[in-house]
Chain A
Amino acid sequence: MPYSAEIIVVGCGNILFKDDGFGPEVIKALGEYSKENPLPENVMILDAGTGGPHFVFSLPHEEWKKMIVVDIAEFGVEPGTIQKFSVDELPKGSYENIHSWPVNAPLHDLAEICEVIVIGCQPENVSAPDVEMGLTPHVKDAIPKAIEMILKEIGVS
Chain B
Amino acid sequence: MSEKIVISPTSRQEGHAELVMEVDDEGIVTKGKYFSITPVRGLEKMLTGKAPESAPVYAQRICGVCPIPHTLASVEAMDDSLGIEIPKAARQLRELTLAAHDINSHAIHQFLIATDVVPENLFATAVNSVSEIRKTAQYVVDMVAGEGIHPSDIRIGGMASNISEVARKRLYARLKQLKPKLDAHVDLIIGLVADKGFPKGLGVTNAPTLATDILYGDRENFDLDRFTEIMPESWYDDPEVAKRACSTIPLYDGRNVEVGPRARAAVYGDFKERGVVAQHVARALEMKTALSKAIDILGELDTSAPVMADFDVTGTNKLGVGAIEGPRGMDVHMAQVADGKTQFYSCLVPTTWNIPTMGPATEGFHHEFGPHVIRAYDPCLSCATHMIVIDDEDRSILKNEMVRI
Contact = CB atoms under 8 A, between A and B. Distances in A.
Contacts of A84: none
Nearest to A132: B46
Contact of B61 (A15, A58, A103, A129): A15
B16 A131 contact: no
A1 B134 CA distance: 10
A47 B146 CA distance: 13
Contacts of A16: 41, 43, 46, 58, 61-62
Interface residues of B, number: 38
A101 B40 CA distance: 18
Interface in A67-121: 99-103
Interface in A16-65: 16, 46-56, 58-59
B contacts with A: majority SS: loop
Given A2-B148, A51-B149, A102-B12, A59 B131 contact: yes
Contact of B43 (A1, A46, A131): A131
Contacts of A131: 41-43, 45-46
A144 to B, nearest CB: 24
B145 to A, nearest CB: 11
Given A2-B138, A59-B134, A99 B12 contact: no
B149 A48 contact: yes
Contacts, number: 85
A47 to B, nearest CB: 7
Contact of B42 (A59, A102, A130): A130
Interface of A: 1-3, 14-16, 46-56, 58-59, 99-103, 128-131, 133
Interface string B142-184: 1000001110000000000000000000000000000000000
B150 A129 contact: no
B248 interface: no
A102 B112 CA distance: 9
Contacts of A46: 149
B251 interface: no
B344 interface: no
B40 A49 contact: no
Contacts of A49: 60-61, 64, 67, 149-150
Contact of A1 (B45, B139, B149): B139
Contacts of B41: 16, 128-131
Given A100-B14, A100-B15, A51 B40 contact: no
A42 to B, nearest CB: 18
Contacts of B385: 129
Interface string B32-49: 000000111111011000
A129 B64 contact: no
Contacts of A56: 149
B16 A100 contact: yes
B295 interface: no
Contact of B135 (A1, A47, A51): A1
A102 B14 CA distance: 6
Given A50-B63, A130-B42, 6 more contacts: A14-B64, A47-B150, A52-B64, A55-B64, A128-B41, A131-B45
B6 interface: no
Given A2-B138, A16-B61, A102 B13 contact: yes
A24 to B, nearest CB: 9
23 contacts: A14-B64, A16-B41, A46-B149, A49-B60, A49-B64, A50-B64, A51-B150, A52-B64, A56-B149, A58-B108, A100-B15, A100-B38, A101-B14, A102-B12, A102-B13, A102-B14, A103-B112, A128-B41, A129-B38, A129-B40, A129-B42, A130-B41, A131-B46
Contact of B64 (A1, A99, A128, A133): A99
Contacts of A54: 64-65, 108
Interface string B172-208: 0000000000000000000000000000000000000
A101 B139 CA distance: 23
A99 B13 CA distance: 12
B256 interface: no
Interface in B100-132: 108, 111-112, 131
A130 B255 CA distance: 30
Interface string B262-304: 0000000000000000000000000000000000000000000
Nearest to A97: B16
